[in-house]
């Protein structure tokens, strides 16, 4: 006698994941790709109970409302600024993300961008490859050691950035929305005062409408002609037009950027600037971290479908 198996949960894949995640997910769920025409063209929309998305894609109200059986949004990333939490809450949909497992690598990227800028690693590589080295020496560079490093947003990643910079014999200061009594680093009352003090300003604050243009033209100006700006948070947290103007005029020395407005199609004026290091949103993009992020997405899905507590919930579902 054959026993009818219960139908497997249908999970909508809004963004792609590596095959090492897709294979175990296919074994447990019916994975459905979001069609190019959007959720309205999805024949199985009424059966989908979970969706997996990236921080970059998120899930807006239109998508959430197009899936009447949706119970869980699992974000493959820590930033959830593109998930409409109000719509999710209204629809009683849980939301999870992948904190902690990516912290070290994103902090490492902040250091890598800073070192690339100060020691001109990218320029040095081009200099050697051009064959110019036997004819002349490359210009002298700055260094990180002894600098004053200002961190904007002392969350998980901001703290990890501070710990790494501390080993470079730097002074660390920070500005954070809420007090951080456990931190021994110097707290600044305003972002502008932090920028005026810092040689290197590193932005690690969450994205979203509340932090839109947080690092504004006066903050960039306060950083000064020798100042460097590093951004591993979101393109939205910096007034990008003001940054480009400052870089073009030399009113700050340079910028190391992993995130941009409108990425992956970024403002072409960046390409003409010699005082920037540009990275295609690679902060968490290491094999080990992506495997850990994928595992956490799968743990959240498994916990949800077995009725257990979600390992990393931003928003809980009321059952």
- Please state whether 31 falls in left (phi above 0), alpha (psi between -120 and 50) or beta: beta
Nearer to ligand NAP, 11 or 157 (CB): 157
**281 lines the binding site for ligand NAP (CB under 6 A):** yes
Note whether 233 binds ligand NAP by CB under 6 A: yes
From the list 57, 120, 281, 304, the catalytic residue is 281
Q: Is 281 a catalytic residue?
A: yes
**Environment class of residue 318 by beta-carbon count within 10 Å: exposed (0-12), middle (13-18) or buried (19+)?**
exposed
Q: Which residue among 78, 201, 222, 276 contacts ligand NAP (CB under 6 A)?
A: 78
Q: How far apart are CA 90 and CA 296, in angstroms?
A: 25
Q: Supply the minimum distance, in Å, between the C-beta of residue 226 and ligand NAP.
A: 25
Give all strands of the β-sheet with 254-257 in edge-to-edge order: 186-187, 171-175, 148-152, 200-203, 228-231, 254-257, 276-278
**58 is an interface residue for ligand NAP by CB under 6 A:** no
Q: How far is CA 184 from the centre of its chain?
A: 25
Residue from the set 21, 71, 84, 258 that interacts with ligand NAP by CB under 6 A: 258
Distances (CA, A) of 224 to 171, 234, 258: 18, 22, 21
Token couple for 275: 């005082």
DSSP string, 145-167: TT-EEEEE--SHHHHHHHHHHHT
158 in contact with ligand NAP (CB under 6 A): yes
Q: Is 156 in the site for ligand NAP (CB under 6 A)?
A: yes
Catalytic residue at 91? no
Q: Does 234 participate in catalysis according to the annotation?
A: yes
Write out the binding residues for ligand NAP, residues 209-228 only, by CB under 6 A.
210-211
The CA-based diameter of the chain, rounded to the nearest angstrom, is 84
Binding mask 106-145 for ligand NAP (x = CB under 6 A): x---------------------------------------
**Chain positions contacting ligand NAP, by CB under 6 A:** 78-79, 99, 102-103, 106, 153-158, 176-178, 204-207, 210-211, 232-234, 258-259, 281, 283-284
Q: Annotated active-site positions, please?
A: 234, 263, 281
């Amino acid at each position: 006698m054959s026993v009818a198996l219960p139908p497997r949960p249908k999970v909508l894949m809004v963004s792609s994941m590596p095959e090492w995640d897709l294979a175990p997910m296919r074994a447990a769920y019916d994975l459905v790709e979001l069609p190019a025409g959007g959720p309205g063209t999805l024949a199985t929309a009424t059966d989908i109970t979970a969706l997996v998305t990236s921080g970059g894609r998120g899930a807006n109200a239109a998508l959430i409302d197009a899936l009447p059986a949706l119970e869980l949004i699992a974000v493959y990333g820590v930033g959830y600024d593109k998930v409409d939490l109000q719509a999710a809450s209204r629809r009683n949909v849980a939301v999870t993300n992948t904190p902690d497992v990516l912290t070290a690598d994103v902090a490492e990227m902040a250091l890598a961008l800073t070192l690339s800028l100060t020691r001109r690693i990218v320029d040095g590589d081009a200099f050697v490859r051009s064959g110019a080295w036997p004819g002349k020496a490359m210009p002298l560079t700055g260094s990180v050691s002894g600098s004053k490093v200002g961190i904007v947003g002392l969350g998980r990643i901001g703290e990890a950035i501070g710990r790494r910079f501390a080993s470079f014999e730097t002074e660390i200061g920070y500005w954070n929305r809420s007090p951080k009594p456990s931190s021994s680093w110097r707290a600044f009352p305003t972002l502008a005062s932090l920028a005026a003090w810092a040689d290197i300003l590193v932005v690690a604050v969450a994205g979203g409408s509340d932090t839109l243009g947080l690092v504004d033209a006066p903050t960039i100006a306060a950083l000064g002609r020798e100042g460097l700006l590093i951004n591993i948070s979101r393109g939205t947290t910096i007034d990008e037009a003001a940054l480009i103007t400052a870089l073009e005029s030399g009113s700050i020395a340079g910028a190391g950027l992993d995130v941009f407005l409108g990425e992956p199609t970024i403002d072409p004026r960046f390409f003409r600037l010699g005082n920037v290091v540009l990275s295609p949103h690679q902060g968490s993009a290491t094999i080990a971290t992506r495997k850990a992020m994928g595992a956490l997405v799968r743990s959240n899905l498994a916990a949800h479908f077995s009725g257990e507590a979600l390992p990393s919930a931003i928003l809980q579902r009321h059952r």
